[in-house]
């Protein structure tokens, strides 16, 4: 069985690494072709098990452009010969539209679309024109998979998708892998020194992650605290500039993307998320599984994800002062961090283990293929 994955980019981020986990879980019974609209944005592919057949073609029709009939037909034609097509987020919506328009004419395989959230251009609110386009483009999708309650509500209301088509599957991880304390030198280019405490995050360095906000919130912590941001992306210079402006660049570290978060996140003493927009961020689940307290704006489902003990430290989405104050409160209270982190680990183990996630995706894909099981 051959699966086609269509992404706007396949650099390491939440949805991409979840896709990798699913590919690895499904095993060698499947072959995969992964399309990235940005040809050099394929870093997440390095985490795929090498025994699995994966292709990353450079000649797939472009995902960006006017949705004219000829271009859509070329996109649709490129989907022929696969058993299942999986599309991801707005960047692949033209592919979903091409499938809807030409599915019957070209006898295309079934398509399942995945929505995980919004980039900076929709972080403050949905665009009406895009809502209309999504309604049309998803017309013949077998299913629409979302990770959060908020996205589920948007899919049913703004995008007017039938309830039977919308499937909410929360993001899961191998929670047991995060139970062990990593070695101080687990990360490249930085070693945790005795007496140091780390405020950390995992995020693509993109504007929607609002990482300069995290730098500002961190700036008031005592000197023994270091800020460690694991990830890669175009906002690296903006983050460094903010740290230099606040004269804390020597305490702000950007080691880059790290493929095995379970081997690093336990080095953090406190986890923070600073995004304008999220839905069900995998990084928060990973922090919880590592026994960390989490500070975050109240974006997406974050307040519902964390333990009741952690919820007082989830601030209003636009309140930067409260965000910084919550970081300071937890940073100055070791015992409080321990209590909150322990509660988070228990919740992650009970609610967000990846076995349930993998089983749910198997069910959705099997239904799309009209098969009793997948793969």
Q: Residues spanned by CATH 3.40.50.2000 within the chain?
A: 2-172+354-369, 175-351
**209 CB contacts (<8 Å, ≥6 apart)?**
203, 231, 235, 274, 275, 276
Q: What is the pLDDT of residue 171?
A: 93
**177 CB contacts (<8 Å, ≥6 apart)?**
262, 289
In this prediction, residues 314-341 reach a mean pLDDT of 97
Domain with residues 2-172+354-369, CATH architecture: 3-Layer(aba) Sandwich (3.40)
240 contacts 211 by C-beta, under 8 angstroms: no
Residue, of 290 and 259, whose pLDDT is higher: 290
Per-residue pLDDT tens over the stretch 300-320: 999 999 999 999 999 999 899
- Whole-model pTM over 0.85: no
Question: Is 345's pLDDT higher than 90?
Answer: yes
Q: What percent of the chain has pLDDT over 70?
A: 100
Q: What is the pLDDT of residue 220?
A: 96
Question: Is 257's pLDDT higher than 90?
Answer: no
Q: What is the pLDDT of residue 125?
A: 87
Per-residue pLDDT tens over the stretch 98-130: 999 999 999 999 999 999 988 778 877 899 999
Is the CATH number 3.40.50.2000 carried by domain 175-351?
yes
Tell me the C-alpha to C-alpha distance, in Å, between residue 4 and each of 137, 194, 242: 18, 48, 40
């Amino acid at each position: 069985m051959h699966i086609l994955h269509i992404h706007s980019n396949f650099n390491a981020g939440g949805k991409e690494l979840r896709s990798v986990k699913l590919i690895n879980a499904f095993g060698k019974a499947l072959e995969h072709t992964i399309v990235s609209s940005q040809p050099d944005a394929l870093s997440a592919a390095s985490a795929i098990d090498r025994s699995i057949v994966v292709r990353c073609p450079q000649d797939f029709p472009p995902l960006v452009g006017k949705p004219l009939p000829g271009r859509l037909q070329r996109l649709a034609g490129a989907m022929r010969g696969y058993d299942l097509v999986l599309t991801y987020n707005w960047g692949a919506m033209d592919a979903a539209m091409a499938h809807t328009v030409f599915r019957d004419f070209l006898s295309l395989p079934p398509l399942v679309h995945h929505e995980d959230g919004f980039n900076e251009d929709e972080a403050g609110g949905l665009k009406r024109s895009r809502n209309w386009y999504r309604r049309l483009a998803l017309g013949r999708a077998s299913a629409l998979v979302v990770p959060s309650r908020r996205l589920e509500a948007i899919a049913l209301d703004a995008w007017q998708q039938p309830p039977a088509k919308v499937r909410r599957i929360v993001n899961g991880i191998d929670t047991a892998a995060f139970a062990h304390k990593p070695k101080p030198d687990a990360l490249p280019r930085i070693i945790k020194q005795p007496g140091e405490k780390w405020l950390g995050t995992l995020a693509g360095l993109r504007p929607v992650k609002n990482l300069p906000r995290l730098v500002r919130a961190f700036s008031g912590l005592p000197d023994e605290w270091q800020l460690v941001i694991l990830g890669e992306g175009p906002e690296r210079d903006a983050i460094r500039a903010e740290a230099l402006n606040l004269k804390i660049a020597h305490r702000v570290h950007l080691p880059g993307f790290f493929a095995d978060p379970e081997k690093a996140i336990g080095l953090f003493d406190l986890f923070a998320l600073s995004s304008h927009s999220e839905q069900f961020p995998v990084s928060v689940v990973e922090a919880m599984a590592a026994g960390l307290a989490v500070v975050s704006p109240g974006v997406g489902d974050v307040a519902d994800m964390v333990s009741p003990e952690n919820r007082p430290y989830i601030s209003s989405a636009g309140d930067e002062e409260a965000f910084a104050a919550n970081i300071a409160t937890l940073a100055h209270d070791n015992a409080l961090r321990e209590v909150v982190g322990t509660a988070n680990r228990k919740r992650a183990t009970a609610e967000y283990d990846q076995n349930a996630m993998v089983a749910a995706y198997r069910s959705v894909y099997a239904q799309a293929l009209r098969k009793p099981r997948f793969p």
